[in-house]
Amino acid sequence: MKEMIQRLVEAYGPSGNEAGIAAVIQEMVRPCVDDLRTDALGNVIAFKRGTGGGVPVMVAAHMDEIGVIVTWVDERGFLRFAPTGGVSPVTLMGGRVRFANGTLGVIGWERWMRPDAGTHRPELDEMFIDVGATSKEDCPVGIGDAAGFVRPFEDLGNRLVAKSMDDRIACAVSIQALKEIEDTPNDLYVVFTVQEEVGTRGALTAAYGIEPAVGIAVDVTMTGDTPKARPMAVSLGEGPAIKVMDSGMLAHAGVVRWMAATADAAGIAYQREVLLGGSTDARAIQTSRAGVPAGCISIPCRYVHTPSEMVDYRDVLGAVTLLAALLRGPVTL
């Protein structure tokens, strides 16, 4: 499964530019689903038909990643940019980005050498991307082109580090769960959503079309286990987290109970999660149409929205086992 994770996290796909990662995912899931389609916004919807007696279940793992988009090319070929999703300037200095056409760029910021650097917080509009061009004319990318971050996947044993663990690790979990399910009474719609990082947009339209009876997002969550972390009762290596609440959603109590009971029955270690900042596709699914009972399985992740997001492989395997057990059904809310 680590090879699959590496392929997923290293693929290109900033919000709104998911065609590359979509092709990778389609190739991976095609053998284990009955239908595969892409909707108007670019969501990849993998369908596995139930054997009957179940309900339609939607699983959402977002395939977009945070990135940047070019807003201006100056006369000397430097690019100004805006973020796609929650990008903090402190994570960018000296970083590298790659565009859809393969162009590599370096993020520059001169102020760190100035006397006031110690008190000055970097701003995105002070930064620029240098793609090695010398003029506007020889610049291989232009306004509106988006780039993702570049950072290789590293296997530290139990811990895995990469860019875009948020949320490719959940794409990997969802694909692996699909592979491990032989039969289920439920019609399964596993959706690899677009544009989560700019406001859970893809999940909203996907859920509208699917009209599921229950929705499960799979996403990363933050942890409280680093030296001066804000207190949070989620740690790496303690198992997948069952979300109770985040800043955009109160998980459906029945879904939380169903997830916990399923984990207990299967002997899967899990953590209960209350996340104070951030939300997931479950928020969009929950308020779609007349409302959908929704919850979220989270993979604990350190350094979220930096180019080096860290997860624990045992939590990943636990999440696969839990998701597969849930989808095998029956759904009991």
Partner 1 sequence: MGQDRTSGASEIMRQMMELLSGEPSELYPVCRDILATYPSMGSLWRLANTAFLEEDAEAAFQSLPEADARVIRQGRQVLTEEAVVLTYSRSSTVKEILAGNPEMVSRVLCGEGRPHGEGRRLARELSRAGIHVTLTTDAGLLEEIPEADLVLVGADAVPGVIGYAPIHLIPAAERAKAPDMSKAVIDIGATDKDGAEKLVSQGDYVSFRGEWAVLDEEGLRTVVAKALDDRAGCAVLAELLCDDYAVDLYGVFTTQEEVGLRGARVAAQRIAPDVAIVLEGTICDDLPKPPEDDISPVTRMGAGPAITFMDRSVIADHRLVNLLLRVADENRIPHQFKSAVAGGTDAGAIHLTGTGVPSVTVAVPARYIHAPISMLSLNDFDHAVHLVRAALHALEGGLPS
Q: Residue 192 Cβ, how far from partner 1 at the closest point, in Å?
A: 14
Element (H, E) at 281: helix 281-286
Judged by the rule CB under 8 A, the positions of this chain that interact with partner 1 are 15-17, 39-41, 43, 69, 71-72, 74-76, 80, 82-84, 125, 143-144, 195, 198, 201-202, 204-206, 208-209
Whether the Cβ atoms of residue 217 and residue 60 lie closer than 8 Å to each other: yes
CA angle 211, 201, 5 (to 5 degrees): 90
Q: Would you name the residues annotated as active-site residues?
A: 196
CA atoms within 13 A on the CB side of 249: 29
Element (H, E) at 166: helix 165-180
Strands (E) in the chain, as ranges, are 35-38, 44-48, 56-62, 67-73, 78-84, 96-99, 104-108, 128-130, 146-149, 154-155, 159-162, 187-193, 214-221, 241-246, 249-250, 271-274, 294-300, 309-312
Q: 324: helix, coil or strand?
A: helix
Q: Residue 297 Cβ, how far from partner 1 at the closest point, in Å?
A: 25
Q: Cβ closer to partner 1: 145 or 315? A: 145
Whether the Cβ atoms of residue 63 and residue 168 lie closer than 8 Å to each other: yes
Q: Cβ closer to partner 1: 149 or 258? A: 149
Q: Cβ closer to partner 1: 17 or 235? A: 17
Q: Cβ closer to partner 1: 41 or 266? A: 41
Q: Cβ closer to partner 1: 45 or 160? A: 45
Q: Residue 287 Cβ, how far from partner 1 at the closest point, in Å?
A: 12
Largest CA distance in the chain: 69
Q: Residue 247 Cβ, how far from partner 1 at the closest point, in Å?
A: 19
Phi, psi dihedral angles at 79 (to 5 degrees): -105, 130
Q: Residue 71 Cβ, how far from partner 1 at the closest point, in Å?
A: 5
DSSP 90: G
